[in-house]
A = this chain, B = another copy of it.
Amino acid sequence: MSAKWYETQGPEGDVVLSTRIRLARNLSDIPFGVNLDAAGRRQAVNRCSKAFAQVLPEAKITEMEAYSATDAHSLAEKRLISPEFADREPGTALVLMPDETVSVMLCEEDHIRLQVMQPGLDLENTWKIADMIDTAVAAKLPYAFDEQLGYLTQCPTNVGLAMRASVMLHLPALSQNGAVKRLTENIGKLGMTLRGAFGEGSAAQASMVQLSNQMTLGLSESDALQNLQTVTLQLVEQERRAQAEECRNSLFTDQIWRAYGILKYARRLETAEAAKLLSLVRMGACRGVLPVKTETVTALLTRIQPAVLELAEHTHDARERDEKRAELIRTTI
């Protein structure tokens, strides 16, 4: 398996796992997504595919129906597609670059959902890549755009910039001391949202949260990105201070070492437990407590997800998967 973007470490990589920008675009001369049947979606997808094939010649373009359920779920677990898109509605398709930095859902909620991901905190580059692809595609397809409102989208909350920028954060110390809970409730005032990154279960266990901008009207892309950058850097500093404080507590350090010990030797691990222990180990790696590389742990957080693991290890049931998960972790860390 060649290294993917999510297996490398980027800027502020101790706290920021990745940066993602999603753009929603629609064609102006056909109905929006919800008004299309399978045949209508196929037509829209055909036109978009041609444009993307020219703009991203290395990309693989696949009808979602051609993926197995496990393939589709593994794409969602790697956050390359939305969980809903993994339902493989007839007529939908995915454009995917080999390094998995760029994925485009065709006929998800909008005709085009372009997504660019980069490791660490890297809003500028991520935006540049997204903007470059978007500009090139715009030259080939008639985008639904209003001079007053901006980009038109299926859902009114996206109209305008039609951009959602987000960063995935690992906040074990701020989760531990209750700060994440308070932030989740109050960060809306800054026009942002904070939520668990892998869905409720294992994300909460792993202390992974996704911070994203919510405002799409009344400001430019660069303002929106600058706001996100500022708040992210504040959280990074807060998390680092909180981690340093936690690690002065020998009881907490003991918890980190125990998590490491269990992961080094357990023979069966469910996803949620593994995520919880890896989160502690990742913090131990960041603080220099454990002899482990942070990016090794980061990569494992993706590689232990059920469908990703099933594809890599050809497992057949949950028990075998738990055994393979334990084996993968103990032979890796």
Q: For the complex, what is the distance from the CA of A267 to the CA of B257, rounded to whole Å?
A: 7
Contacts of A268 in B (CB 8 A): 250-251, 254
Contact check, A264 vs B267: say whether CB atoms are below 8 A apart.
no
Cβ–Cβ < 8 Å partners of A267 in chain B: 250, 253-254, 257
**Is residue A149 contacting chain B, with contact meaning CB distance below 8 A?**
no
Q: A250-B323, A323-B250 are in contact. Are A263 and B261 (CB under 8 A)?
A: yes
Task: Please name all residues of chain B whose beta carbon is closer than 8 Å to the beta carbon of A258 when the two chains form the complex.
Answer: 261-262, 265-266
Instruction: Tell me whether B266 and A264 are in contact (CB under 8 A).
Output: no
Main secondary structure of the interface of A (DSSP, over half): helix
Query: Bound complex: CA of A39 vs CA of B139, how far in Å?
Result: 109
- Kindly supply a per-residue 1/0 record for chain A positions 203-242, scoring 1 wherever the CB is within 8 Å of any chain B CB and 0 otherwise: 0000000000000000000000000000000000000000
With an 8 Å Cβ cutoff, the count of chain A residues facing the other chain is: 17
- The answer to the question of A260 belonging to the interface, with a C-beta cut-off of 8 Å to chain B, is yes
- A323: chain B residues within 8 A (beta carbon): 250
User: Which single member of B250, B254, B266 contacts A261 (CB below 8 Å)?
Assistant: B266
Contact A266 B257 (CB under 8 A): yes
**Complex partner residue of A264 from B251, B254, B265, CB under 8 angstroms:** B265
The docked-state distance in angstroms from the alpha carbon of A267 to that of B258 is 8
Q: How many chain copies?
A: 2
A218 → chain B, closest Cβ, in Å? 52
CA distance A326 to B257 in the complex (A): 11
Which chain B residues border A266 with CB–CB below 8 Å?
254, 257-258, 261
Q: Mark A87-119, 1 if CB is under 8 A from B, else 0.
A: 000000000000000000000000000000000
Interface residues of A in 53-91 (CB under 8 A from B): none
Contacts of A265 in B (CB 8 A): 257-258, 260-261, 264
Question: Of all chain B residues, which has the CB nearest A257?
Answer: B265
Tell me the residues in window 259-281 of chain A with beta carbons closer than 8 Å to chain B beta carbons. 260-268
Q: Which residues of B contact A262 (CB under 8 A)?
A: 258, 261-262
For A252, the closest partner residue in chain B by CB is B267
- In the assembled complex, the Cα of A214 lies from the Cα of B113 at a distance in Å of 81
Which residues of B have CB within 8 Å of A263? 261
Q: How far is the CB of A261 from chain B (nearest CB, A)?
A: 3
Bound state CA distance, A200 and B263, in angstroms? 32
Nearest B residue to A267 via CB reads B254
In the complex, what distance in Å separates the CA atom of A254 from the CA atom of B327? 12
Q: In this complex, what residue of B is CB-closest to A253?
A: B267
**Closest residue on chain B to residue A289 by CB atoms:** B267
7 extra A-B contacts, CB within 8 A, seeds A254-B268, A258-B261: A254-B326, A257-B265, A258-B262, A258-B266, A260-B261, A262-B262, A264-B265
A-B contact pairs, 24 of them (CB 8 A): A250-B267, A250-B268, A250-B323, A251-B268, A253-B267, A254-B266, A254-B267, A254-B268, A254-B326, A257-B265, A257-B267, A258-B261, A258-B265, A258-B266, A260-B265, A261-B261, A261-B262, A261-B263, A261-B264, A261-B265, A261-B266, A262-B262, A264-B264, A264-B265
